[in-house]
Amino acid sequence: MSKKWWIFGLLMFIIGLLHTVSPFICNMGGNSKCMALLSIPTLVFNYIGLKWVNIGHPPSSLIMTPIFYVVIWFLIYFARKLLKKINLKKRLIFVLLTFLFVAVLPIVLGYNVDPPENVHQHITNESAKVWTLIPPEMKQHLKTPLNQNLDSDNFQNGEDIITGSGEEDRPEANAVLHFFQPDNPYGGIGQYNDGIFVFESSYTRALNIWTQNVIPSYLKGNVEESYYYLGRVVHLLEDASQPSHVHLDPHNPSFGGTSIIETWTGTNFNQYNGTNYAEKQYNYEDLIDGFNWINVDPTGSSSKLNIGLFRLFWYTAQKSQYWASDDRPANYTYVELDGDVAITTGILNVLPTAIIHNEQQVYTRNASNTQQLGRFDKFVQYNNQRWAFNYVTSGESFTNMQNISNIFFVLEMQGLTPVQIETLVAQFINQTKN
């Protein structure tokens, strides 16, 4: 292997590393321009829906994502060597077969949206009968024919909620963005961004459409366009009611997969009549009586500002997991956010470029020669200052280490919710940083 190929491999590893750490450096993905500068390939990944921290849970993603890039490098290298050994005709056949494989691989089965099986459009249309108090304005944007022709473009004049609910499956490769595993709040650090393979979750996609299209379009007076994109969000919520989509079961027919429920629904969807479920709609404020949402609510600022959207997706997905998919068992559990995630979020809300060490042992000695030693969940470096944070849980104890002048600061907490931890950490840093 030549020197230039080794250099290429090293560059691929570095790009993968930047791809992984860019959201942490850029305040949890809140600054897309910053992330693009740090990792140019993320422009492409963002376009096709790949999530920022996409392989494994932090910190494993710090290793796995660069390795993923190196694997791509190996494949490119060996494909090049193979192509050199075969004639032009066979080379062309090889390239075409590879293209077809890549094209088919991400396609997963979903409810049909083409006539005569307008499943998503039918479900969307019937929803107006479930919510009998639906605002008249919204009802006015649920009137296009269910059997209308769909295209792969975005909004066009005359399209509405029903159109959007169908065109969310255009192009068909969009289907890989329609999966959401709600039991992994750490996909994207508290952002619930665990989708199928390396792709973003349907909740993340819905949140992006909601904040970038639905709300801005409405505020600009582009009401028709806003409702069209609402239809796309509706489609994603409907998919969250299908077990395969919340168990990350691809049910790809090209590889022998299937979904009994989608097959059955394709020929029986007309039996669903929203009138039979009138006044039984979800109200996110009281989805679960007495449930403490604060234990699962996401920590990202965008999610918190649109908390009702998150709770609808999370609750729907959790309920759907009660049923097994064709290849995955049922699931009756959920995962709460923990203190470490909340501490990290609080740090990055104030110091987006800080260096954060996990499970760090800290030794200090002050001017009077008093020595202290303790282990902390998070240790933060920023300029010439240091902070140490602990969230003390059952079986753990306080270090009781003291601050040192304006250089080293300690905060240890107990008995708080994730949101309270996040807020307290941010306030503590703001009060002590130079």
What pLDDT, in 10s, does the model give residues 131-141? 989 999 999 99
- Distance (Å, whole) CA 346 – CA 352: 10
Return the higher-pLDDT residue of 83 and 302: 302
Return the higher-pLDDT residue of 145 and 37: 145
User: Residue 182 in contact with residue 206, Cβ under 8 Å?
Assistant: no
Question: 291 pLDDT band (50/70/90 cuts)?
Answer: confident
Q: How confident is the model at residue 13, as a pLDDT?
A: 73
- Outline which parts of the chain fall under CATH 1.10.575: 119-320
Q: How confident is the model at residue 88, as a pLDDT?
A: 60
Write the burial class of residue 221 (CB in 10 Å: 0-12 exposed, 13-18 middle, 19+ buried).
exposed
Q: How confident is the model at residue 115, as a pLDDT?
A: 66
Of 184, 189, 183, the C-alpha closest to 346 is 189
If you average pLDDT over residues 177-194, what whole number do you get?
Answer: 83
154: its two tokens: 């975005």
If you average pLDDT over residues 205-210, what whole number do you get?
Answer: 96
What percentage of the chain reaches a pLDDT higher than 90? 46
Q: Look up residue 388 and give its DSSP letter.
A: E
pLDDT of 17 strictly over 70: no
pLDDT of 165 strictly over 60: yes
If you average pLDDT over residues 71-94, what whole number do you get?
Answer: 64
Radius of gyration for the alpha carbons in the chain, expressed in angstroms and rounded: 25
Average pLDDT, the chain: 80
pLDDT of 84 strictly over 70: no
- Predicted TM-score of the model (pTM): 0.66
Q: How confident is the model at residue 167, as a pLDDT?
A: 94
425: its two tokens: 């950490």
> What topology does CATH give the domain 119-320?
P1 Nuclease (1.10.575)
Cβ within 8 Å of residue 236, ≥6 positions away: 168, 178, 202, 203, 205, 206, 209, 313
What percentage of the chain reaches a pLDDT higher than 70? 74
- Distance (Å, whole) CA 313 – CA 160: 22
Q: How confident is the model at residue 56, as a pLDDT?
A: 34
The per-residue pLDDT for range 327-356, each reduced to its tens digit, is: 899 998 887 777 888 898 899 999 999 999
Q: How confident is the model at residue 82, as a pLDDT?
A: 67
Backbone phi, then psi, for 297, in 5-degree steps? Answer: -60, 140
Question: 297 pLDDT band (50/70/90 cuts)?
Answer: confident
Q: What element of type H or E holds 409?
A: strand 408-413
Return the higher-pLDDT residue of 280 and 395: 280
Backbone phi, then psi, for 361, in 5-degree steps? Answer: -85, 135
Of 64-78, 280-294, 409-423, minimum mean pLDDT range:
64-78
User: Residue 66 in contact with residue 13, Cβ under 8 Å?
Assistant: yes
Return the higher-pLDDT residue of 166 and 254: 166
The per-residue pLDDT for range 405-421, each reduced to its tens digit, is: 899 999 999 988 888 99
pLDDT of 18 strictly over 80: no
Tell me the CA distances in angstroms from 317 to 178, 236, 281, 307, 314, one per residue in order: 12, 11, 15, 15, 5
Of 420, 423, 425, the C-alpha closest to 409 is 425
**Full DSSP string of 264-297:** HHHHHGGG--GGGGTT----GGGSSTT--GGGTS
